[in-house]
Structure 1
Amino acid sequence: MFAAYVTVTILGVVLNGVTAVFYLSGHEYPKTQADMKGVPRKWVPVLGTLLAAGSLGLLAGFAVPLLGTLAASGLVLYFIGAIIAHLRVGSRAIIAGTVLLAIAAAALALGLADHGPW
């Protein structure tokens, strides 16, 4: 169980970290996605910061399990919101969000199964 928890959590850290870098570096893709969803561009760095905090929180969860639980929970809520934002404007390009949601949910479930919420 521990090996699965570590593997999924590291995968979540890497994928969310890379996504956060795109959002925080001023890359054009997050900006066009924000425009498509009707989200103000000034929210892009905020969303990137949330992704970075989630990624760092998952990593910190190895030392302080409660942080990992909170970070995984936050990422689950983040990606539920992202999927809803896509569906709200009629976009069906939700594969990436669904994969990241599944990874965050798996990290949360495996973390809870491995060490509980604390």
Structure 2
Amino acid sequence: MGQASPKLSPTIAFEDFERVDIRVGTIVSAEAFPEARKPAYKLAIDFGPTFGVKRSSAQVTRHYTTDQLVGRRVAAVVNFKPRQIGPFMSEVLCLGFPDDEGEVVLVTVDRAAPNGGKLF
């Protein structure tokens, strides 16, 4: 069975949610990341003219090939501090949910929304 949490997280104020900056972006490149401890890809994601292209390491190799990722519109947290993952600096966190086996299924956008648009 999946890795769903058996209980809800503690209640937070709306202001806490507002501090997490989640934006939509388009994956412009995806390549293998053989140096990662767990199978992953290196992604470049375009968040529009205000934020530009940001990089992310994503453990999504089970459900996606690099060709399937390019052009996909995803949601990502853009205001975490960059994180060093091996020789790669990950600047944003792509969001996803676990499938029944705990593998990541990306959060995607199903209608036109400009790159850099903020989740509310």
Which band: TM-score by shorter chain?
Answer: under 0.3
Q: Identify, as 1 or 2, the structure richer in strand.
A: 2
Q: Identify, as 1 or 2, the structure richer in helix.
A: 1
TM-score computed with the length of structure 2 as normaliser: 0.27
